[in-house]
């Protein structure tokens, strides 16, 4: 199969990026105002800001760190500056980004300096790094060297008819040409988990998937939420969905019908090419953030009613099969495949349309979410802080 070329950035570690940001990464709440301030001062920077990182412990802390490190190491990032309250953790995160991606990384802490001095120090580093990064040129790269993610949000009947199956077509193409495609949303698979389980390449993968899935369902139950019993929702039923199997199958349409290589932990970089499942929540901003941390450089997002999600460094392409959403929310939508919903376009034609658009985005075209600045970096918390 012919692999299309895109104009991307070849990184030191062999990965390919489609953006060239200098990422300003907050380790904690003390780093947040610094990175936000500097992103307004220095062109070419993106603030990755949040309010967590203090008094977390165990697996929850590990996941926060993995998310920050993976975001810095993402191929869409040319260089990173890590800003936190104290030098120890800040330095560790910076070192790990540098180790994994071999890109220029700086660390700045706030204690014994104050916020304004930290802003000055970060801005000076940022000025130098942007000057360096903007000398890097886009060059022909293979689409199959990218990691592509997918998810759906604010779904409706049109998602199952048009936008999700179209993503399935595009995802299949990417896998067939030797690329990498990741899906997640553990809970959204409920009702169709048996279908996904059967698609794993190995027994081990299938077993791990079912373990992850059952753990989620049991956890929800322990919190008094009956994920299975509450599906489909009244809204879904009004829209024509009858059973939980049917709803799950609509979601699953965006997963290409190809063997699944294995289960990735949240934020884990896929160890090889092909189709992968990542254990993620179904919250759009959390899922997109975890995929960015895993090294995804472009994301295909299907929406019916119009989810607006975006991410600072991971371009999210919004696809809708709902003609009203396409018209009323045109500033949030990238690709309109509503002609499928009207019976005027085939899935293959829709797939072609999304694929062509994705190639443009990979070569520099900004997505709707990038233009209107939907910077929705959101850390997945596993449990409360100490």
Kindly list the residues in this chain that would bind another protein in the complex (CB under 8 A): 156-158, 160-161, 165, 191-192, 194-195, 228-229, 237, 239-240, 242-246, 249-250, 252-253, 341-343
Q: How far is the CB of 187 from another protein (least distance, A)?
A: 14
Q: What is the DSSP string of 18-70?
A: S--EEEEEESSTTHHHHHHHHHHHSTTEEEE--S--SS--HHHHHHHHHHHHH
Q: How far is the CB of 36 from another protein (least distance, A)?
A: 43
Residues 147, 294 contacting (CB under 8 angstroms) = yes
Q: CA dist 244 to 24, 188, 189, Å?
A: 42, 10, 9
Nearer to another protein, 51 or 242 (CB): 242
Nearer to another protein, 224 or 343 (CB): 343
Nearer to another protein, 17 or 232 (CB): 232
Beta bridge mates, 260 = 200, 275
Nearer to another protein, 43 or 194 (CB): 194
Q: How far is the CB of 99 from another protein (least distance, A)?
A: 44
Nearer to another protein, 164 or 367 (CB): 164
- Token pair for residue 120? 């000055």
Give, as one character, the DSSP assignment of residue 143.
Answer: G
Q: How far is the CB of 326 from another protein (least distance, A)?
A: 16
Q: How far is the CB of 343 from another protein (least distance, A)?
A: 4
Nearer to another protein, 115 or 157 (CB): 157
Q: What is the 3-state secondary structure (H, E, C) of the chain?
A: CCCCEEEEEECCCCCEECCCEEEEEECCCCHHHHHHHHHHHCCCEEEECCCCCCCCCHHHHHHHHHHHHHHHHCCCEEEEEEEECCHHHHHHHHHHHHHHHCCCEEEEECCCCCHHHHHHHHHHHHHHHHHHHCCCCCEEEEHHHCEEEEEEECCCHHHHHHHHHHHHHHHHHHHHCCCEEEECCCHHHCCCHHHHHHCECCHHHHHHHHHHHHHHHHHHHHCCCCCCCCCCCHHHHHHCCCCHHHHHHHHHCCCCCCCEEEEECCCCCCCCCEEEEECCCCCHHHHHHHHHHCCCCEEEEEECCCCCCCCCCCCEEEEECCHHHHHHCCCCCCEECHHHHCCCCCHHHHHHHHHHHHHHHHCCCCCHHHHCCCCCCCCCCCCCCC
- Token pair for residue 28? 């904690």
Nearer to another protein, 270 or 304 (CB): 304
Nearer to another protein, 229 or 272 (CB): 229
Only one residue has tokens 């990182």, namely 53
Q: How far is the CB of 173 from another protein (least distance, A)?
A: 19
Q: How far is the CB of 201 from another protein (least distance, A)?
A: 20
Nearer to another protein, 195 or 212 (CB): 195
Q: How far is the CB of 212 from another protein (least distance, A)?
A: 18
Q: How far is the CB of 248 from another protein (least distance, A)?
A: 9
Q: How far is the CB of 238 from another protein (least distance, A)?
A: 9
Nearer to another protein, 87 or 323 (CB): 323
């Amino acid at each position: 199969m012919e692999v299309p070329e895109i104009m991307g950035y070849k990184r030191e570690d062999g990965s390919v990026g489609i953006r060239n940001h200098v990422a300003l990464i907050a380790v904690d709440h003390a780093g947040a105002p610094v990175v936000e301030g500097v992103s307004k001062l220095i062109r070419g920077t993106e603030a990755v800001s949040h309010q967590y990182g203090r008094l977390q412990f165990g697996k929850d802390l590990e996941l926060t760190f993995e998310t920050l490190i993976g975001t810095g190491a993402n191929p869409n990032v040319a260089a990173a500056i890590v800003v936190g309250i104290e030098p120890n953790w800040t330095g560790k995160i910076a070192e790990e980004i540098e180790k994994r991606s071999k890109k220029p990384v700086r660390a700045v802490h706030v204690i014994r300096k104050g916020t304004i001095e930290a802003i000055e120090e970060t801005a000076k580093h940022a000025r130098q790094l942007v000057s360096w990064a903007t000398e890097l040129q886009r060059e022909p790269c293979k689409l199959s060297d990218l990691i592509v993610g997918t998810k759906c949000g604010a779904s409706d009947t049109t998602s199952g008819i048009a936008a999700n199956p179209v993503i399935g077509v595009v995802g299949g193409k990417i896998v067939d040409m030797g690329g990498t495609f990741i899906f997640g949303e553990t809970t959204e698979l409920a009702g169709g988990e048996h279908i996904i389980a059967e698609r794993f390449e190995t027994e081990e993968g299938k077993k791990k998937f079912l373990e992850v899935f059952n753990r989620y369902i049991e956890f929800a139950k322990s919190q008094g939420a009956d994920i299975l019993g509450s599906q489909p929702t009244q809204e879904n039923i009004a829209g024509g969905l009858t059973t939980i199997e049917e709803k799950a199958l609509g979601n699953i349409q965006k997963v290409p019908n190809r063997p699944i290589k294995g289960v990735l932990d949240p934020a884990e970089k896929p160890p090889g090419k092909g189709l992968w499942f990542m254990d993620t929540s179904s919250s759009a901003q959390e899922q997109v953030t975890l995929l960015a941390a895993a090294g995804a450089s472009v994301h295909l997002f299907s929406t019916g009613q119009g989810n607006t999600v975006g991410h600072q460094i991971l371009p999210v392409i919004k696809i809708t099969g709902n003609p009203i959403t396409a018209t009323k929310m045109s500033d949030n939508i990238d690709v309109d495949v509503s002609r499928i919903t009207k019976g005027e376009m085939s899935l293959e034609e829709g797939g072609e349309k999304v694929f062509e658009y994705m190639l443009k985005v990979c070569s520099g075209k900004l997505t709707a979410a990038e233009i209107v600045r939907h910077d929705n970096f959101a850390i997945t918390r596993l449990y409360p802080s100490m």
